[in-house]
Amino acid sequence: MMGAMITEMLNAQQAHSILFISLLLTITITMSCVIQLLSENFSTFIQQRFLLLLSISVVIIVAVFATFPDHTPAPGHNQHIH
């Protein structure tokens, strides 16, 4: 709820940047947790391919955000002031 209120106060570019950064942090934290949980069983496999997996995830996120169309309001569309 608080996140929705904050994003209403931001313009599209700022919200886009915050979402991008939060997704990158989420991916990094998730992969670190997976490595910690599976370190006993798959330690060498995951450690050898961690940078590859992280790089692929980052490339996918960057590609999605780079190809995402810019938000242009329709002519005659007025923003509501809260």
Where do the structural domains in the chain lie, given as residue ranges?
10-64
Q: Is the pLDDT of residue 15 over 60?
A: yes
C-alpha to C-alpha distances, 33 to 14, 16, 19, 39, nearest whole angstrom = 29, 26, 21, 10
What's the per-residue H, E or C state across 26-55? Answer: HHHHHHHHHHHHCHHHHHHHHHHHHHHHHH
Residue type, 19: L
Confidence tier at 72 by pLDDT (50, 70, 90):
low
Q: Taking the complete model, does pTM exceed 0.85, yes or no?
A: no
What is the per-residue pLDDT across 23-60, written as a single tens digit (0 to 9) for each? 888 888 887 777 777 766 666 666 677 778 778 877 88
